A = this chain, B = another copy of it.
Amino acid sequence: VPVVRAGAVRETAGRWVIEPTPRTRRGGAGTHRPAPLVVPAPGEPGTPRPTIEDVAALAAVSVATVSRALRGLPHVAPATRERVLEAARELDYVADPAAARLATGRNVAVGLVVPMIAHWYYARVFAGIEGVLAAAGYDVLLYQTAGPSGIDRSLDELPFRKRVDGLVVVDATLDDAALDRIVAAGVRLVTIGVRAPRSPSVTVENRRAARQAVAHLTELGHRRIALIAGMDEDPFGFSTPLERRRGYEDALEAAGVEPDPALVVPGHFTYDGGAAAMQRLLTLSDPPTAVFAMSDEMAIGAAKVLREAGIDVPGQVSVVGFDDHEVAAYIGLTTVRQDVLWTGERAAALLLERLREPSASRSERRGAAPSAHESVPTHLVLRSTTAPPPVRARDGRDR
């Protein structure tokens, strides 16, 4: 029996069989389980469209003049330009980007690589990037490395080669060889949430932000402060969780609190992961009086578990999140606000700069490339999920 990975497409006798992505069961009712799709493999091109020759003929000029006129280049007589514009308008002409790309080598397109676009954070980053790049005339292609099907694709497998002039890579697994290949191919690179050796990057002030959030808890009197983190370990230099953990440790140290590894649990940046993490924390013989989660989703999941366990928030346990997700305000979650849209916009701006640079041959080969590392500021937003620990917890540890 052949094993077909969910979400995969396989071709059989000229037809494509597309396995549906399995759905997580959530909530009460059963989940709709879709049947596999069977569709024909793709086919032929569309209807012919007017070309630059048609415009040239109609305007009674050469194609060279049309090209110049349409792109606003100098050395075109105003009357001629007007005639060309008129002809192009009449024919509803638009230049073929593929032909332009072939002639110039420029795609006027950039790629965005994220783990999964359905996630709140990545969707917002994308929105910010697309806004700026679209305004600058660029097309934006999206590549998910962790599709909903759970299949991870590495940067190397992504088919962006020759498709894009630049790439914004968010929180991706980056190895030096892959990066070198990308840069060698002339693709400009900007990263978010990770740092690449010779490319600009944008990150939020993770360490400072986390320190501030946890300091808020120590100032309230908490000593048993849990951290709901990302993965158990991250071998790929996705630095965000590491930095937030350092900030957490900074704050504990500043308050003279000995870190307890049992209080640090993975939450995988999901609602369910946050809930599971909280479950685990509640089984400890000496459970925390406060929890700092590295994302609002995880904090919401944790808060739900606390509520269901009949534990008062913030009376018995305080909760702090990270992001300032829209929902945070609605459930009164104390959290660290970061401007994700702005993160995307900054990355797009850095990429536009990078696209402007001459050829990679000069500065980059010499290793003299300017690599701007930008830090986006954050704010601690105090709401109603944090308060001093219960009295008994403050006296001894026999809560």
Chain B contacts for A49, CB-based, 8 A:
161-162, 185-186
Number of A residues contacting the other chain (C-beta, 8 Å)?
Answer: 120
Binary contact readout A189-225 vs B (1 if CB under 8 angstroms, 0 otherwise): 0000000000000000000000000000000000000
| A394 contacts the other chain (CB 8 A) | no
Selected contact of A187 from candidates B46, B131, B339, CB within 8 Å: B46
**Copy total for this chain:** 2
Closest approach, in angstroms, between the C-beta of A287 and any C-beta of chain B? 21
| A238 contacts the other chain (CB 8 A) | no
Chain B contacts for A339, CB-based, 8 A:
23, 31-32, 34
Chain B contacts for A148, CB-based, 8 A:
127-128, 131, 341
Selected contact of A144 from candidates B92, B107, B130, B345, CB within 8 Å: B130
Closest approach, in angstroms, between the C-beta of A178 and any C-beta of chain B? 12
Chain B contacts for A341, CB-based, 8 A:
21, 23, 118, 148
Closest approach, in angstroms, between the C-beta of A300 and any C-beta of chain B? 5
Selected contact of A345 from candidates B18, B134, B328, CB within 8 Å: B18
Chain B contacts for A250, CB-based, 8 A:
none
Per the bound structure, the CA–CA distance linking A376 and B119 in Å amounts to 22
Chain B contacts for A135, CB-based, 8 A:
7-9, 18, 147
Binary contact readout A100-113 vs B (1 if CB under 8 angstroms, 0 otherwise): 01101111110000
Contacts A45-B106, A379-B32 given; does A27 touch B328 at CB 8 Å: yes
Check B139–A40 contact: CB distance below 8 A. Answer: no
| A94 contacts the other chain (CB 8 A) | yes
Most buried by B among A31, A37, A382: A37
Check A131–B149 contact: CB distance below 8 A. Answer: yes
Which segment, of A75-83, A241-249, A260-268, A355-363, faces chain B?
A355-363
| A373 contacts the other chain (CB 8 A) | no
Check A120–B117 contact: CB distance below 8 A. Answer: no
| A68 contacts the other chain (CB 8 A) | no
Per the bound structure, the CA–CA distance linking A26 and B335 in Å amounts to 12
Chain B contacts for A132, CB-based, 8 A:
7, 9, 18, 37
9 tightest A-B contacts by CB? A46-B186, A45-B105, A123-B123, A98-B101, A40-B356, A118-B127, A9-B135, A47-B186, A43-B356
19 chain-A/chain-B pairs, Cβ below 8 angstroms = A18-B345, A21-B131, A21-B341, A23-B339, A27-B328, A34-B339, A42-B108, A42-B355, A44-B358, A45-B359, A46-B165, A102-B102, A117-B127, A118-B123, A119-B123, A127-B144, A130-B144, A130-B147, A139-B159
